[in-house]
Structure 1
Amino acid sequence: MTSHTSNTPSNERSGPPLSRRAFSTAVGATAAAAAVGAQTAPASAASASAPGGAPGERPFRAALGKHARRPNILFILGDDLGWADLSSYGAPHIRTPHLDKLGRQGVRFTDAYSGSATCSPTRFSLYTGRYPGRTKGGLAEPIADRSVGLEPTHPTLASLLRGAGYATALIGKWHCGYLPDYSPTRSGWDEFFGNFGGALEYYSKLGLGGEYDLYEGDAEYKDLRYYTRILTERASEYVQRDHHKPWLLNLNFTTPHWPWIADGDTEASAEIVRRIKAGDRSALWHADGGSVEKYKEMVEDLDRSVGEVLKALKRSGQEEDTLVFFASDNGGERFSYNWPLSGNKSSLQEGGIRVPSLLRWPARIDGHQVSDVPVYSPDWTATLLELGGARPDPAHPLDGVSLAGYLLRGEVPEERDLFWRVRGERALRRGDWKYYRGKGGADQLFNLADDRREQADRAAAEPERLAGLRAAWERTDSGLLPYPTGS
């Protein structure tokens, strides 16, 4: 893939191939495990001479001979966090020192995407490693009632890793179906503490329908403190346990999703609760509340919360052997800072699907790296399964590709298509080129290397390229479930 430097601090290096360390542990007899344990290739000349280095930067190397083990996995999601809402991605008014540090200690991805443009379809793509349109529940954009969910019979990241010997837990927002039929504990997670729905009021835990929505396992759990504080405490406790096996923790914050309530905003909370109890089904949308400053406060609180969990991980002595990944579930909303991208959450323009993404694994991956390789949610499923020695279910083939070879063995990723579909919009990225059709119905073509803002439509100038990308999109779409009639 073509590499382009973008928003790269002077002490970070951009573009493939990444610096990586050897991963040579025996992780079982599966084919996936054998691939992970392959001989590490030496760093390429291109890697060794990549521009943009600074004095004191860690050298490109493969740390051969070091003890190796399957990583613990801490996978953190923010909720509706925009691509440029972190200071390391360009936010001029938001300070996120803990997340910025996480990126400096590993890899910051500039061209990483969510699996869809809204909450639950992206979670389907991450948990299954497949396009949301492969399953009935993934067609809801997002899930808003009890009619659909992630079928317990469908293999997931958690169920496959659990089968390979991992302990699994999900703390925070599930949003892949409601009780009694759907739950994380029915889909491979040993433990669940969090909310089932797409949004809740941060203190009362009341959801969109006025229902109470905080659970431990499948039972209601009463705690009326600020939700982000509760999730941070729970996650910190989990990572500090005396684990006797590798573990997966999906930590899904609701911050900075509406309603726009920061820690301490008890008066605003009480007003929203009053409206919910009076039957106002739109109260949680908080259309008459929030501000850029309130949003800043929430994002910075998310940053502090992640920092607390990472400090707990360090105290536990597991930091070196834990892979930490942070991203957003989709693009930003009303108060998000997305410049220079166009569009927001729910759109397949870049601002709706390009998300901040950070990865750290001290034992295997060098820090101060920037990658502009296009990647998205299903890829992380495939990658984590390979690193954990878990074999994907052949009856449910993955749509993502493992990045383990890129991250750890110096393999240059092959160019492939990234595909998205939502009601009324379609998009496909191949290399630097993106095919997009919005709700207006016109096919457009953009070169994202030159035009991340998607303003210079190259459709008329490149008709053959446009036709080829459109045909590729339609081939993939033909293998997916159709949207319900009238939706």
Structure 2
Amino acid sequence: MKPNIIFIVSDDLGYADLGCYGGRQAPFGAVSPHIDALAAGGLRFEEGYANSPVCSPTRFAMITMRYQYRLRGALEEPINSRSKGDPRLGLPPEIPTLPSRLREAGYATGLVGKWHLGYPPHFGPLRSGYDEFFGIMAGGVDYFTHCSSKGDHDLFIGEQEHREVGYLTDVFSRRAVDFVQRHAERARAGTPFFLSLHYTAPHWPWETRDDAHVAPEVAANLFHLHGGNVHSYRRMIHHMDEGIGWLVDALRQTGQLENTLIVFTSDNGGERFSDNWPLVGGKMDLTEGGIRVPWIAHWPKGIPAGGVTAQHCLTMDWSATMLELGGGSPHPDYPLDGVSLARVLADPADTFARPMHWRMNHRQQRAYRDGDWKYLKVDDHEYLFDIRSDARERANLAPRDPDRLAVMREAWLAWDETMPTIPDDASVSLGYGPKDMPQR
């Protein structure tokens, strides 16, 4: 019997924010007990990565199972409100997606939470394989007003604007529980479901459930430089964790937990209040802190409990894995770049080589990891790191091993040649990259 699949994606979560990744206790206690329990009952990846250090490009890769650089919309780093009405800047409905291919394989599909892949009328979740959508179209909104940084109200059911009172993380969690409960009977009868649960937590603005009595302040820009603190940030993670606990309870109460694959991750590395230890850097960086993220898989029927693996992987690999486990197949005209991890889920010791490539700021940052080694270029500075022994990327071995540097540089360039040309009008990110990297 095919498993139900729930893909939980947090937003800007740091590598070490969770207890199961070494995160510290908060004054109120454990920050992520329910997520930690999923890890204890399943498989935790120690060296898993996001496709990008910024949100919407990762989401393009996640849904298409291909490198995001293949699509014009993903060359915006990230998509922002200027894309509204632009028929180029989003996920074209004709592109095959994970939900569309799973739907063809007999799944009911739904997205609760953040879309961030372009705006109607040209783009939207219902146009790209989801039967249901409840959530936001933009990259981030206020947790109480549900308005974007431009002041536009941004909460939808399908493509119809919807107004609802509540703290957004809780609103998403309850909608996810409702989805699971409504689909329980159909799932037991042989129609499994695929649920994407894409939280905005702990993305800015840094507001907790307890801030409802405070007049909400919509962040004026992506950085929200004047707001937030580490205590609010960790409480936001805890609110998300509580909601995941509600979801697991709903699966248990409806008899679906045993045959439901739950995957948890982040869309990119952490922001200013996150804990990325021992990694350096964060969101928008191709240093480890910007791209290495938590990956947890829980599936009692298919994954042994208590596993840990060093298998390398990218976001699109997990989507390819879900497609395989759901009995779906890639579209013949759109071969996957993602590689299935199904064999590793069944046996964490059954690992394989997985070379991985990134670029950011339209090649101003470049990265390539192959085995223990990582090539990194930031502006005109090149680095070579043995990541297994130097996860903090402090010892630049490029001067000591120029031959290896040259081989890895050429491998990255050869891969880049297989990607489409970057158009001149594609915008770059807001521009903060690795500032504390040693220079050669």
Q: TM-score, normalised by structure 1?
A: 0.82
Match status 1:430 vs 2:366? no
CA contact 2:270–2:283 (8 Å) conserved in 1: yes
CA contact 1:205–1:224 (8 Å) conserved in 2: no
RMSD: 1.5
Q: Kindly provide the CA deviation profile for residues 101-149 of structure 1, in whole angstroms up to 9, marking residues without a partner as x.
A: 1000000111011110111000111101111101111111110022300
- 1:258 aligned residue (201, 204, 208): 204
Instruction: Please name the residue that 1:138 is paired with.
Output: 74
Instruction: Please name the residue that 1:475 is paired with.
Output: 414
1: CA distance between counterparts of 2:323 and 2:70?
19
Instruction: Please name the residue that 2:165 is paired with.
Output: 224
* Matching of residues 42-441 of structure 1 within 5 Å: 69-94=1-26, 95=30, 96-144=32-80, 145-146=83-84, 147=86, 148-241=89-182, 242-243=185-186, 244=189, 245-268=191-214, 270-273=215-218, 281-282=220-221, 285-408=223-346, 412-423=350-361, 424-439=364-379, 441=380
How many Å apart are 1:79 and its aligned residue? 0.6
- Total equivalences in the alignment: 410
1: CA distance between counterparts of 2:65 and 2:403?
31
Q: Residue type matched to 1:150 in 2?
A: L
1: CA distance between counterparts of 2:277 and 2:69?
29
1: CA distance between counterparts of 2:348 and 2:21?
25
How many Å apart are 1:271 and its aligned residue? 4.6
TM-aligned CA distance change 1:294 to 1:220, over 3 Å: same
TM-aligned CA distance change 1:196 to 1:410, over 3 Å: closer
CA contact 2:268–2:290 (8 Å) conserved in 1: yes
CA contact 2:170–2:239 (8 Å) conserved in 1: no
Q: Residue type matched to 2:390 in 1?
A: D
2: CA distance between counterparts of 1:262 and 1:193?
21
2: CA distance between counterparts of 1:267 and 1:338?
31
1: CA distance between counterparts of 2:401 and 2:289?
24
1: CA distance between counterparts of 2:131 and 2:384?
45
- Structure label with greater radius of gyration: 1
Q: Residue type matched to 1:210 in 2?
A: G
Q: Residue type matched to 2:324 in 1?
A: E
Instruction: Please name the residue that 2:435 is paired with.
Output: none
2: CA distance between counterparts of 1:410 and 1:326?
17
CA contact 1:348–1:420 (8 Å) conserved in 2: yes
2: CA distance between counterparts of 1:386 and 1:368?
23
CA contact 2:167–2:209 (8 Å) conserved in 1: yes
DSSP 3-state at the match of 1:264: helix
How many Å apart are 1:266 and its aligned residue? 2.6
Q: Kindly provide the CA deviation profile for residues 341-366 of structure 1, in whole angstroms up to 9, marking residues without a partner as x.
A: 00000101000000011001101111
Task: Give aligned-pair identity as a percent.
Answer: 46
1: CA distance between counterparts of 2:397 and 2:99?
42
Q: Kindly provide the CA deviation profile for residues 230-262 of structure 1, in whole angstroms up to 9, marking residues without a partner as x.
A: 111100011122224011000000000000100
Q: Residue type matched to 2:370 in 1?
A: R
CA contact 1:235–1:309 (8 Å) conserved in 2: yes
2: CA distance between counterparts of 1:140 and 1:82?
23
Q: Residue type matched to 1:294 in 2?
A: S
Deviates more, 1:367-376 or 1:240-249: 240-249
Unmatched runs of 5 consecutive residues or more in structure 1: 1-68
Q: Residue type matched to 2:112 in 1?
A: I
CA contact 1:405–1:411 (8 Å) conserved in 2: no
- 1:453 aligned residue (373, 392, 410): 392
2: CA distance between counterparts of 1:381 and 1:202?
28
TM-aligned CA distance change 1:249 to 1:120, over 3 Å: same
CA contact 2:309–2:349 (8 Å) conserved in 1: no
Unmatched runs of 5 consecutive residues or more in structure 2: 428-440
2: CA distance between counterparts of 1:409 and 1:110?
15
Q: TM-score, normalised by structure 2?
A: 0.91
Hey, which bits of structure 1, 4+ residues long, moved more than 4 A? none
